[in-house]
Amino acid sequence: MEIQNFITLLGGLALFLYGMQTMSSELEDAAGNRMKKILERLTANRWSGILVGLVITALIQSSSALTVMAVGFVNAGMMTLRQVVWVIMGANIGTTVTGQLIALNVGAAAPVIAFAGVILMTFGKNTVWRHGGGVLAGLGVLFIGMEMMGGAMLPLRESKAFLAMMTEFKNPLSGILAGTVFTALIQSSSASLGILQAIAAGGGISLSGAVYVLFGQNIGTCVTAILASVGMNRNARRTTVIHLSFNVIGTLLFTFICLTTPLTSWVESLTPKNIPAQIANMHTFFNVTTTLLLLPFGNALAALAELLLPDEKIRNKNAYFPLFRKH
């Protein structure tokens, strides 16, 4: 890779991450407190919990942010462990919206979207318009970054070393590990997914090479909530165990399915000339299917978390040595 292409890649990555962060923070600022109240009140049953998790994550474009919010509610006693299971399931579906947005081929309109957003931010009459402008500006910058990264990746299609590395990701263990580590480092599965789509758009990787990286990204996104739960009570830490269990089970299940069935070929056939869309569709299929399959076992996931992180028992020697009890 020439130095100029590498610099372009870094610049595109910077714009992409900045756009993602801007869009997410503007949405949270616009509706953060309202979202918290909705989350607190509408999680009484599994369906409303899933719906709330799905809608809020789709709006704020971050399953990690919602999971961290849920961890805080559980820590404060505002939500039970059984309630938070459904919110996490909904969040995993809601996070697929970002990938579908990125898969849209709107690169040519990206500067116009960013410009419209800046105009609204600058001349908006109230905070709603200004926050809306911030979201548009972030989205436009995100797409500009995607275009830059995709363009910088084009020469790599001729690199034997790069193609050999991408081929390694067809090995499930290598792909899952790469996706987990990279997503854990940048603390965002949406950003990690977008970068994977940018590599695919530049012809650097096919769906068969990307699929296991994609599964690993779902595990890596759990790190944010795990870090947020440090120092919190046991139920808050159990929430992160539920989140991690959900994604590990889904990853194991889909790895087996992809190795034993033509699922990858079927997803490719839906949009044969659009690899970023193939990745987005696989991501959506993964999260929706895993949620539907684990829906009857939500309480079992909570019980598993309680089993892995049991309550601390007061060790009283008299409980073990009855002869020493005082009468």
Tell me the DSSP string of 112-180: HHHHHHHHHHHH-SSHHHHHHHHHHHHHHHHHHHHHHHHHHHGGGGG-HHHHHHHHHTTSHHHHHHHHH
Q: Spell out the per-residue pLDDT of the chain, length 327, in tens.
A: 567 777 887 888 788 778 877 876 776 676 555 666 666 666 667 888 888 888 888 877 677 777 877 887 788 777 788 888 998 999 889 888 878 877 776 666 778 888 998 998 888 888 878 888 888 888 788 778 877 876 776 676 666 666 666 667 778 898 899 889 888 887 777 778 888 888 887 777 888 888 999 999 899 888 878 887 888 888 888 999 999 999 999 999 999 999 999 999 999 999 888 888 999 999 999 999 999 999 999 889 989 998 988 886 643 444 444 444 444
For 41, the 3-state DSSP assignment is helix
> What's the Cα-to-Cα distance from 10 to each of 21, 22, 153, 180, rounded to whole Å?
16, 18, 11, 21
- Any idea what the Cα angle at residue 169 is, between residues 66 and 208, rounded to 5°? 85
Nearest to 8 by CA among 193, 154, 205, 203: 154
Q: How many CB atoms lie within 10 A of CB 152?
A: 23
Element (H, E) at 52: helix 46-60
The domain limits of the chain are: 3-310
Q: Decide if 79 contacts 51 (C-beta within 8 A).
A: no
Q: What is the pLDDT of residue 192?
A: 81
8 Å CB contact between 243 and 74: no
Measured at the CA of 286, the angle between CA 36 and CA 196, to 5 degrees, comes to 90
Does residue 110 contact residue 144 with C-beta atoms inside 8 Å?
Answer: yes
Alpha-carbon distance of 79 to 65, in angstroms, equals 16
